[in-house]
């Protein structure tokens, strides 16, 4: 599905609104599983973070992901996020 208007989402780290495709999406699927959604197509409640180590750190240390989803975030999700962001940062 193509959209002409760029969807904007808010980063959990710095709070800035950015085009969705510039952010990493973390999703809590209907069954409660939390995962990093690199395709942007998974169902569930999404939270977004800039591709920035700084933003990830802020979101993580402030428990903002946990709060956004009202559940614990598995370590492997953190590991994927860190990897994804480090590969794209700088």
Binding mask 8-47 for Zn ion (x = CB under 5 A): ---x-xx---------------------------------
Which of these segments, 2-10, 33-41, 53-61, 70-78, binds Zn ion (CB under 5 A)? 53-61
**Closer Cβ to Zn ion, 13 or 60, answer by number:** 13
**How many Å apart are CA 16 and CA 76, to the nearest integer?**
26
Q: Considering only CA atoms, which of 59, 57, 34, 61 is closest in space to residue 48?
A: 59
Distances from the Cα of 22 to the Cα of 8, 15, 31, 48, angstroms: 9, 14, 27, 9
Residues lying near Zn ion in the complex (CB under 5 A): 11, 13-14, 50, 55
């Amino acid at each position: 599905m193509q959209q002409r208007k760029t969807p904007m989402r808010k980063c959990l780290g710095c709070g800035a609104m950015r085009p969705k495709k510039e952010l990493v999406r973390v999703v809590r699927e209907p069954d409660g599983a939390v995962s990093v959604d690199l395709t942007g197509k998974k169902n569930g409640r999404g939270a977004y973070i800039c591709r920035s180590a700084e933003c990830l750190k802020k979101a993580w240390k402030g428990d903002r992901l946990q709060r956004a989803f009202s559940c614990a975030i598995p370590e492997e999700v953190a590991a994927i996020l860190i990897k994804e962001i480090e590969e794209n940062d700088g």
